[in-house]
Amino acid sequence: MTKDSTIKPLPIILFSILAMMNGLAAFVLGVITLLGSKFLFTADGVGPNRIAISDLFGVFAPQTGWIMFAIGLVFISVGYGLFTFRNLARLAVFYAFALLATATVIAVGWGVYQGEWGVVIGGVLKIAVEIAVCVYLSTSIVRKAFSI
């Protein structure tokens, strides 16, 4: 059986396309920021707690363009790897989601300690999705699609 004759799981294809689209958006934002745009440095939104996207990078805020550029390249690369069923891409997504789930457990603990129940509820839902993705990537059908 050749790689082309195996069943390619539709969720993987859709996830890979979304990852590449997300990566393209981050890449373009990084490039326009490096070319002088202040879009990522401008607070936007509604309400009193508006912050610029660059503020999320803390002391690395001046390097926002390069950070977005790099994030874009990583997302495009991993998305393409998933689209072409490269096992390294599957493992990268698996371990990234496992790490995110672990970090989210810490955030949920902080939410419980601080009485921030929105963080707790959102975190529990996020953990459920992250675990579901890890379990899906570990199923025999998905592993087989990536191994051939």
Taking alpha carbons only, the member of 66, 57, 75, 55 closest to residue 33 is 66
| Interval 45-59: pLDDT, tens | 666 777 888 988 999
With a CB cutoff of 8 Å and minimum separation 6, the contacts of 66 are 30, 34
Whole-angstrom distance, CA of residue 66 vs CA of residue 30:
6
Is 101 within 8 Å of 134 (Cβ atoms)?
yes
Whole-angstrom distance, CA of residue 64 vs CA of residue 70:
10
Tokens of 82: 């998933």
| Interval 22-50: pLDDT, tens | 999 999 999 999 999 998 998 876 667 77
Q: Tell whether pTM > 0.75.
A: yes
